[in-house]
Amino acid sequence: MVEIRALVLAIDRDDDFGQKAGVEGPVIGRDACVDAALKLSLADPEDSDANVVYAAVKLYDELRESGEFDEVEVALITGHPKVGVKSDVELARQLELVLERFPADGVITVTDGAEDEQIFPIITSKVPIISSHRVVVKQSEGIETTYYIIYRYMKEILSDPEVAKVVLGIPGMILLLYGIARLIGVWYPESVKIVSATITGTILLLIGGYFFTKGFRFNVRETVAKQFVFVISVIAGSLIIVGGAINAYFRLEEYSLELIGSYPGTPLLATLIYINALNASLILGIAVMITGKVIQSYLRKDHHIWYQASALLMMPAMWVTIDLTTRYAMAILTLSDIEVFTKLLLALMDVGVAVLVGIYMRGKVRGWERVEAGASA
């Protein structure tokens, strides 16, 4: 005989006993457990939880007959229909009540599947588990376990917003957009190709954008909330660049006549003229973006403001570099021209000033709070 008190514990995590038979847990003692199982069997003959209690009572009788343990008791604890935290808290509460009535040294659990076994950590936090018995009724253990795994992951998909977006949201969006495309195709057959291309492009854009933001951990809502000034400056700078690009495209011939005195004869020459014409808008747009970043850094006391300010001061040098490079490539200028020398000297002076300002500011902002872009405030 092992001189310990053993508790045979039947577990009903989703409270079928309470919902179907009106039995309130915990149920302690052989006769009380048999009565509870009988009530559930009459209420729902197909419910396997009744067989769990019958199996627990049978095991209790066998252990008492064998005299293997010093003392043996059987009990049933029930959870809550809302399986999860609520049911597990209720099971823990009922287990405490059982242990007050019968201070067991070890527990022998009896369950009907993997779901009930999820509370084993709760049990072991209060009393050791000596053994575990699983009762399989009307289906194989593999089917029961497989069903539970599928059920668990489907429940996770439906309850977790992030997982639901990927598993359900993206396929749902694709089906929705293609459904709209089919309806438009029925109403306007002549626009089938345009609508199809538009829908396909929209889908790729949205999916690509979603994966891009997730891959680089870019939270749009958080970024806008924490870096609103910078976001506004990026939008403004982007509009300046786009506007300049469109303007340069429509005035390409005019720019060509100003630069080389004729129309561009080759695609390469046209590209160089276009880059030169876009130069001012490009530099201005980037400068607006960096200015927004500098303001954002100043407001948030970000010590990185020193090299952001340096980058802003280097924009004129960048403009000179693009202008001279494109003109030199078009053979408008040569390296010996005084204009080239003057502009290069000004660009170098600009870089020098930017570096000196950056060094000075770095010392001044050394004590500022370090706020990384995108980090939690």
pLDDT of 7-27, one tens digit each?
A: 999 999 888 899 999 999 899
What pLDDT was estimated at residue 10? 93
Is the Cβ–Cβ distance between 43 and 108 less than 8 Å?
no
pLDDT digits (tens, 9 = 90+) for 133-180: 888 655 445 555 665 666 666 665 566 666 666 667 777 777 787 787
Pairing of strands 69-78, 129-134: unpaired
Q: Is the pLDDT of residue 209 over 70?
A: yes
Token digits of residue 339: 């204009």
Token digits of residue 289: 């973006």
What pLDDT was estimated at residue 135? 80
The single-letter code of the amino acid at 338 is I
Give domain limits for the chain: 5-134, 218-366
HEC letters along the chain: CEEEEEEEEEEECCCHHHHHHCCCCCEECHHHHHHHHHHHHHHCCCCHHHHHHHHHHHHHHHHHHHCCEEEEEEEEEECCCCCCHHHHHHHHHHHHHHHHHCCCCEEEEEECCCCHHHHHHHHHCCCCEEEEEECCCCCCHHHHHHHHHHHHHHHHHHHCHHHHHHHHHHHHHHHHHHHHHHHHHHHCHHHHHHHHHHHHHHHHHHHHHHHHHHHCCCCHHHHHHHCHHHHHHHHHHHHHHHHHHHHHHHCHHHHHHHHHCCCCCCHHHHHHHHHHHHHHHHHHHHHHHHHHHHHHHHHCCCCCHHHHHHHHHCHHHHHHHHHHHHHHHCCCCCCCCHHHHHHHHHHHHHHHHHHHHHHHHHHHCCCCCCCCCCCCC
Q: Is the pLDDT of residue 372 over 60?
A: no
Q: Which of 113-127, 187-201, 229-243 has the lowest mean pLDDT?
A: 187-201
Burial 65-98 (b: 16+ CB within 10 A, else e): eeeebeebbbbbbbbbeebeeebbebbbebbeeb
What pLDDT was estimated at residue 225? 64
